[in-house]
Structure 1
Amino acid sequence: MLLEVIALDAADAAAAQAGGADRLEVVSDIAADGLSPSRETLAAIREACDLPLRVMLRRQAGFLPGDLDALRAAAVELDAVMGERDGFVLGFLDAGGEVDLDATLAVAGAVPSRRWTFHRAVDHAASYARAWETIGGLPGLDQVLTAGSAAGVGEGLGALAAHARPGLAMAGGGLRPEHVPALVDMGVRAFHIGGMARPGWDRPVEAELVRRWRGTVDAGALGVA
């Protein structure tokens, strides 16, 4: 069972590690659902903890890619301060809501040695099922962050059960403890939290909140032991 926590800075990273997180998603501007961090922030987080990191490659709110050259340059710049076990988070849609495969592969291809997570763009696609068909088997992809619905896991459990690939799916986006048993029954073994690790979106990560989630996820593991 993998527990990933959103971190905005070094203090978040240290608290998440103290609470038992397995990995961090490193972003800036959480109000925009996460944009790329600065090189300086990433370096500080890398110094503050020894957890694997997944670093966001996204320069604007929404899931249109925007300036691909700037995204590729950001990938190279951030890669220079990342550790061996670190990877990226990316994933784009076109104006029609289809997976923008060309843009996604162009950005991932800027750092071909890195593993990466496909972001929640899949939940905002015109067809959730078609998005999964499109992204399956992409080079370097080892996880898909998904709630099954743009409205969150509570609304998306049916779509997750029908279309998500258990070995790739990481549940996140409105995830609550009561969702974990059903997700485990579906074969999901990775969980992502942001606001649930904080007493408020504008507050830092608290180790005790992460610790509670560690217990929730571990309890789910007992059901499949």
Structure 2
Amino acid sequence: MIKEACVETFEEAVLAEKRGANRIELCSDLANDGLTPSVELLQKACAILKIPVMVMIRPRAGNFVYSEQEIAQIKLEIDEAKKAGAAGVVLGLLTQKNQIDTRNTKILAEYAHPLPVTFHKAIDLMDNPVEGAKRLNTIPGITRILTSGGKPTALEGQETLRKMIEVVTRGKITILVAGKVLDTNIKEIQKLTGADEFHGRRIVGELDSRSEQ
């Protein structure tokens, strides 16, 4: 079982590692569902943490429909992740109709190479995330899909999550289960979904350094 802790500060990252997280997703502004972290935070986390750091690449809040100018900005942010020594990047692009933006996803996955790419929860805005998973399965460089099965929680989305696991090529893409995955319910969610990798803000408990004092 792989536990990926979603964090927005260096202190949270260190605490998550100490508590047994296997991997970090590093973001800023989680109040807006996560944006690209600062270069300083990125460099510090990658330099000091011993576990892999996946970096959120999202230049602004709001929807996941990006202009050519924003695609160029995303490339610059991928460059910073590479320079810092990140283990991979996390991004997601949709069309105006909330379908996978296949063209730009292919471009960015190729640009990120050799870093693996996680396609994030933008997929949950689709009417049919299973179809989205099938589409992403055809794009080289996409190695994970972060999803709660189109529902607010993994428990509610469990049926769709099971279907998504079935339609992707095992060994090529991993369904990374999110959606209120806690240290207290992760075993139940694993049993219900059959997934191996999990993601959450409180996946190794509340990440408040004051609780350690």
| Length-normalised TM-score, structure 1 | 0.81
Q: Please, which of 194, 198, 209 is the counterpart of residue 187 of structure 1?
A: 194
**1:219 paired residue number:** none
Structure 2 Cα separation of the partners of residues 175 and 125 of structure 1: 21
Q: Residues 43, 182 of structure 1: CA spacing in aligned structure 2 closer, same or farther, 3 A cutoff?
A: closer
Question: How far has the Cα of 1:48 moved from its partner?
Answer: 2.9
CA contact (8 A) 1:124 1:149 kept: yes
Question: How far has the Cα of 1:206 moved from its partner?
Answer: 7.5
Question: How far has the Cα of 1:99 moved from its partner?
Answer: 0.4
**1:173 paired residue number:** 179
CA offsets, 1:13-52, max 9 Å, x none?
1101110110000111101111111111101112331110
Structure 2 Cα separation of the partners of residues 113 and 50 of structure 1: 20
CA contact (8 A) 2:144 2:176 kept: yes
Paired residue secondary structure (1:35): coil
Question: How far has the Cα of 1:197 moved from its partner?
Answer: 4.9
**1:110 paired residue number:** 111
Structure 1 Cα separation of the partners of residues 193 and 151 of structure 2: 19
5+ residue gaps, structure 2, are none
Q: Residues 206, 194 of structure 1: CA spacing in aligned structure 2 closer, same or farther, 3 A cutoff?
A: farther
Paired residue secondary structure (1:98): coil
Q: Residues 180, 74 of structure 1: CA spacing in aligned structure 2 closer, same or farther, 3 A cutoff?
A: same
CA contact (8 A) 2:158 2:193 kept: no
The residue type paired with residue 101 of structure 1 is T
Structure 2 Cα separation of the partners of residues 50 and 179 of structure 1: 23
**2:128 paired residue number:** 127
Question: How far has the Cα of 1:160 moved from its partner?
Answer: 1.1
Q: Residues 185, 158 of structure 1: CA spacing in aligned structure 2 closer, same or farther, 3 A cutoff?
A: closer
Q: Residues 198, 205 of structure 1: CA spacing in aligned structure 2 closer, same or farther, 3 A cutoff?
A: farther
Q: Does 1:43 align with 2:43?
A: yes
Structure 2 Cα separation of the partners of residues 6 and 30 of structure 1: 9
Structure 2 Cα separation of the partners of residues 155 and 68 of structure 1: 33
| Length-normalised TM-score, structure 2 | 0.85
**1:7 paired residue number:** 7
CA offsets, 1:87-143, max 9 Å, x none?
111121111010011121222222211111110111111321211111114212221
Paired residue secondary structure (1:149): coil
Structure 2 Cα separation of the partners of residues 206 and 94 of structure 1: 42
5+ residue gaps, structure 1, are 209-225
Structure 2 Cα separation of the partners of residues 144 and 205 of structure 1: 30
Structure 1 Cα separation of the partners of residues 60 and 204 of structure 2: 24
Q: How does 1:24-103 map to 2 (within 5 A)?
A: 24-61=24-61, 62-66=63-67, 67-83=70-86, 86-103=87-104
How many pairs does the alignment contain?
203
The residue type paired with residue 136 of structure 2 is I
